[in-house]
Structure 1
Amino acid sequence: MIFSLISGLLKQGVNKGLILEEDWIYVRNQVLHLLQLESFPEHIDPKEDSIPNLLDQMIDYAVNENIIADVLDEKDILTADIMNCFLSKPSEIKAKFQTYYTESPKAATDYFYELSKNSNYIQMNRINKNISFKVNTEYGDMDITINLSKPEKDPEQIKREKENQSNINYPKCLLCIENEGYGGRIGHPARSNHRIVPIELQDETWYLQYSPYVYYNEHCILLSETHRDMKINLDTFRRLLTFTEKFPHYFMGSNADLPIVGGSILSHDHYQGGNYEFTMPNAEDDFIFQLDAFPTVKTAIIKWPMSVIRLTGERKEELIKAAEFIREKWVYYSDEDAKIQAHTEDTPHNTITPIARKRQDQFELNLVLRNNRTDSTHPMGIFHPHEDVHHIKKENIGLIEVMGLAVLPPRLIDELNEIKDFIVGNTASVTSYHQEWANELKQKYTNLSDTNELDEVMKQELGNKFVKVLKDAGVFKNQADFSRFINHMNS
């Protein structure tokens, strides 16, 4: 059985362009060594299956034969090591990326994205477990994803992580360039099959990779060569727009650089992008205003639950300067009526989540205004999901959510089924933190019994909750509040 799996993987490696026929014996011997096998029989029929499925079956074999323990990290390390046998050295992949780039930027990213999937660095079997759908709202279609892709840690994995705690500081974080080819260890994921490609941005080398758990098409990460804290400034806007100039089929954006409103990794300067049409960048203008200092830049507030200024123009440098002008004005802006306070003593509260695109000859920057202040009523953040939506989502609202994609916890699968049973009278109660919402839904949908209709209702109500999440995170709740800031910028 194991030999059939190995032959199947080799066949897929050739079919997917990972290796050539001439590499077959060499790669096979490398895989045999990893699986502690000393020979290979003749006339083996290859197992016909996908690369991820073949790998899963090979890992099951390794566990059953006591080659590795039945522990998540050990299984992931062996999986990555096996696929590393099929991958070229980083220098060869980088050279191939550049060759494709001379054909077109899209050809280069198509090559690299397919490589990242075929090498199983992008965990497609796990990602396919996610439940994703769209919900129509007053702001357009919102994307909803219930995240089931990241496997839960079993007790043995948790035990080993506690026992193997150490002061190892290599790589410094999950985004450092030193992760390329790193074998992994308990508590740090395997990266043997990980490759990155250099992108030159404003006299600095940055690196492009894809997220191992993509939330949308070609979900990529652009990371600094240097391990340094995230910072939103003039250079950020210049890098984002320069990247979209080099890769006009991709958007590129940044999480904010402050806790609460920022992303999960603020210790390493990085951006996120991809080839996907989110709803927010395509939202209509709510109203257009004049930014007196930059008359050639089209400036608008868009129709979106968060507070977004959109800059559009043909001249990249003008947009960069306009964005930095707005950021500097916003960083020091306070408005008691809007509950906005720029600083508490030396602690800053105002920052920006920027998203860049290039549309034909027009550059575009969407600047999402953020504030991370807390108070006794909202200890997790005044402009953060409020307590009435915490039963759905209470985590930070980062770049992905800002653009209109809700990434929701896996617990909701069972909990939403429980609420559906409650609505139709099959159960008398639900999980306590959902009870108030469930009561509202039961009163609203009194004659609902069709299963398909009930499923659609729950999707719609989940989308409505996500809109409320975004509204909570918006710093300006009405046009009058926004107008005061515009007047401040033009004063």
Structure 2
Amino acid sequence: MADDRSGAVERGVADLVAYALDRGLIGEEDVTYAANLMLDALSYEPTGAFVPREAVAAARAAAERPELEEILAGLLDDAVERGVCDAGIASRDLLDTRLMGCVTPRPSEVVRTFWERYDESPEAATDYFYHLALDSDYIRTYRIARDRKWVTPTRYGDLDITINLSKPEKDPKAIAAALEKQKSGAAEPYPRCQLCPENLGYAGRLDHPARETIRLIPLTLAGESWYLQYSPYVYYNEHCIVLSEKHVPMQISRTTFQRLFEFVGKFPHYTVGSNADLPIVGGSILTHEHYQGGRYEFAMARAGEREQISFAGYEDVRAQIVDWPMSVIRLDGGDPARLVELADKILTAWRGYSDEAVGVLAETDGTPHNTITPIARRRGEDFELDLVLRNNRTTDEYPLGIFHPHQELHHIKKENIGLIEVMGLAVLPARLLGEMDRLEQVILAGEDPASVPELEAHAPWAAEVLRRHPEFAPENVAGADATALHAVIEDEIGQVFAQVLEHCAVFADDDQGRAAFARFVASVC
């Protein structure tokens, strides 16, 4: 047994080093060094017969090679058996990240290579950096592949729907509490949050992920130090994060617009935007200023014009209200400085704007409610900026927000509607995967979903779905096509997401809402 174990560990280390060599993470001169780092991470002493260079050469010559997930799983299983780490997923993640950190190029090497590729083209630089994130297992592609994704046609165009299995659902109240804790000056851990640059190389702990494989590209935006990295969750292609060097709260300002345009000036093939800077209408992290972008065309970018508008003194800027479920002003032009100037006027006007007729109040008891979610992109040689108007006011009827998914939709989406959802990509909680599978089983069995305790929250919605699709009602379901039902459930979830976005509109797409939107536009200049 001991010989079998030692052989398995040594083969696993050799396979992992061979993988790194094949992916260009290390060079031939690094083989023995990388193997010894891994052995130390595994608290394992090999036999005298183990020669890393020979073992790795044999691994590379093998007819069949295990996949990365299989290599890591074997090494982790052995480490658990020997008591090197616990069996829990958090402990295993800490160890496998340390193993991959042994073969991830040093930050200085990554930065140097990135800018060398940038001299070729911005796309060459980001291609290199993104594939490094994939190959180093910073982005766990085998987990991302388990996410469920589909597209739902709606009156606003095709919306992207994902059920994410990599990231837990967050409660809006917990997000707000984290921001208040930072403002109170309470002692914070190290690193202070998952976006701080101090995560670079951090070994992690059970309540904070390991980051030995993360790499940061330094940028200068509006004269300040920022960094580019990728999201480990990859909600869409080349999902990147642009983060401030400083651990300061999110803030939407004129400088925000400048930074966004400078970023798309450097990387014209990327879109970039910012979550809003207030609880409820912001993202899941409000304590560290950051933006998100990537090489992806979101549904909102494809949305057309609902109404052309103009702002006095800015006739050179093309402006429109976007045909989108949320309230969006789009600005286009060749001079980003002019777009920044007008966007700042719109932001300033919106910060202080109230219209009680549609429930919009700028503040209550000194607490501000109005802010903006901005998104920047290039349109050929032109620059484009979408300004999504947000308000986070709550009432007794809507304790989580008037312009937030209302209670009847919380069974599908309760979490903050941040930048990614605003642009038309739903990031739905992992719990839905099991709940929807169970719902389909119950419907196909001819049972009433309301009679199943774990489906209680979905019961009213499920009843509406069955009314719209009587072919799956209990009296008709015998012999029903399970694939067809699955497609119906996916489509209905997508339609709920469209409703979620409609609930977040500060100016509804009806006569009253359009008139209110026009009043705000007229107030800007």
Q: Is the TM-score greater than 0.5?
A: yes
Q: Which of 37, 43, 60 in structure 2 is aligned with 1:36?
A: 43
Task: Specify the alignment match of 1:481 in structure 2.
Answer: 516
- Give yes or no for the alignment of 1:55 onto 2:64: no
Give ranges in structure 1 of 5+ residues lacking alignment: 153-165
Q: Which of 486, 490, 502 in structure 2 is aligned with 1:455?
A: 486
What's the CA shift for 1:338?
A: 1.2
Q: Which of 344, 366, 370 in structure 2 is aligned with 1:350?
A: 370
How far apart in 1 are the matches of 2:65 and 2:438? 39
Task: Specify the alignment match of 2:469 in structure 1.
Answer: 445
What's the CA shift for 1:320?
A: 0.5
- Residues 111-190 of structure 1 aligned to structure 2 (within 5 Å): 111-150=128-167, 169-190=189-210
How far apart in 1 are the matches of 2:432 and 2:105? 41
What's the CA shift for 1:290?
A: 1.0
SS in 2 for 1:142: strand
Task: Specify the alignment match of 1:12 in structure 2.
Answer: 19
Which of structure 1's runs of 4+ aligned residues deviate more than 6 A? none
Do the aligned residues in 1 keep the contact of 2:378 with 2:384 (CA within 8 Å)? yes
What's the CA shift for 1:134?
A: 0.6
Q: Which of 82, 87, 90 in structure 2 is aligned with 1:73?
A: 90
What's the CA shift for 1:380?
A: 0.7
Q: Which of 421, 427, 430 in structure 2 is aligned with 1:401?
A: 421
- Residues 300-319 of structure 1 aligned to structure 2 (within 5 Å): 300-319=320-339
Task: Specify the alignment match of 1:464 in structure 2.
Answer: 495
Amino acid at match of 1:347: T
What's the CA shift for 1:256?
A: 0.2
**Worse-superposed segment, 397-406 or 181-190:** 181-190
- Give yes or no for the alignment of 1:24 onto 2:59: no
Task: Specify the alignment match of 1:163 in structure 2.
Answer: none
How far apart in 1 are the matches of 2:413 and 2:302? 24
What's the CA shift for 1:388?
A: 1.1
**Worse-superposed segment, 141-150 or 320-329:** 141-150
Give ranges in structure 2 of 5+ residues lacking alignment: 1-7, 170-185, 473-479
How far apart in 1 are the matches of 2:343 and 2:507? 18
Do the aligned residues in 2 keep the contact of 1:128 with 1:149 (CA within 8 Å)? no
Do the aligned residues in 1 keep the contact of 2:444 with 2:482 (CA within 8 Å)? no
Do the aligned residues in 1 keep the contact of 2:168 with 2:430 (CA within 8 Å)? no
How far apart in 1 are the matches of 2:168 and 2:521? 46
What's the CA shift for 1:382?
A: 0.4
What's the CA shift for 1:151?
A: 7.9
Percent of counterpart pairs with the same letter?
Answer: 47
Do the aligned residues in 1 keep the contact of 2:332 with 2:384 (CA within 8 Å)? yes
Alignment CA distance shift 1:150-1:331 (3 Å): closer
What's the CA shift for 1:136?
A: 0.7
Q: Which of 117, 124, 140 in structure 2 is aligned with 1:100?
A: 117
Alignment CA distance shift 1:151-1:66 (3 Å): farther
- Give yes or no for the alignment of 1:433 onto 2:463: no
Task: Specify the alignment match of 1:293 in structure 2.
Answer: 313
Amino acid at match of 1:41: F
How far apart in 1 are the matches of 2:415 and 2:436? 19
How far apart in 2 are the matches of 1:393 and 1:179? 30
Do the aligned residues in 2 keep the contact of 1:423 with 1:445 (CA within 8 Å)? no
How far apart in 2 are the matches of 1:181 and 1:34? 14
Do the aligned residues in 2 keep the contact of 1:73 with 1:190 (CA within 8 Å)? no
Amino acid at match of 2:345: F
Task: Specify the alignment match of 2:279 in structure 1.
Answer: 259
How far apart in 2 are the matches of 1:168 and 1:486? 42
Task: Specify the alignment match of 1:360 in structure 2.
Answer: 380
What's the CA shift for 1:26?
A: 1.4
What is the CA deviation profile of residues 405-460 of structure 1, one whole-angstrom value per residue up to 9, with x for unaligned ones? 11111221222223323434432334111111111222222224111111111111
State TM-score, norm by structure 2: 0.88
What is the CA deviation profile of residues 56-90 of structure 1, one whole-angstrom value per residue up to 9, with x for unaligned ones? 22111211122212133322221121111112221
What's the CA shift for 1:241?
A: 0.6
- Give yes or no for the alignment of 1:340 onto 2:356: no
Task: Specify the alignment match of 1:161 in structure 2.
Answer: none
Task: Specify the alignment match of 1:242 in structure 2.
Answer: 262
SS in 1 for 2:518: helix
SS in 2 for 1:447: helix
Aligned Cα root-mean-square deviation (Å) = 1.7
How far apart in 1 are the matches of 2:198 and 2:102? 19
Do the aligned residues in 2 keep the contact of 1:52 with 1:120 (CA within 8 Å)? no
What is the CA deviation profile of residues 272-306 of structure 1, one whole-angstrom value per residue up to 9, with x for unaligned ones? 00011110012101111111131100000011000
Task: Specify the alignment match of 1:160 in structure 2.
Answer: none
Amino acid at match of 2:365: E
What's the CA shift for 1:193?
A: 1.5
**Worse-superposed segment, 2-11 or 369-378:** 2-11
Do the aligned residues in 2 keep the contact of 1:423 with 1:438 (CA within 8 Å)? no
Amino acid at match of 1:435: A
Amino acid at match of 1:4: R
Amino acid at match of 1:244: V
SS in 1 for 2:471: coil
Task: Specify the alignment match of 2:292 in structure 1.
Answer: 272
Amino acid at match of 1:196: L
User: When the two structures are aligned, how many residues end up with a matched partner?
Assistant: 477
What is the CA deviation profile of residues 23-80 of structure 1, one whole-angstrom value per residue up to 9, with x for unaligned ones? 1111112112222232353664427123233212211121112221213332222112
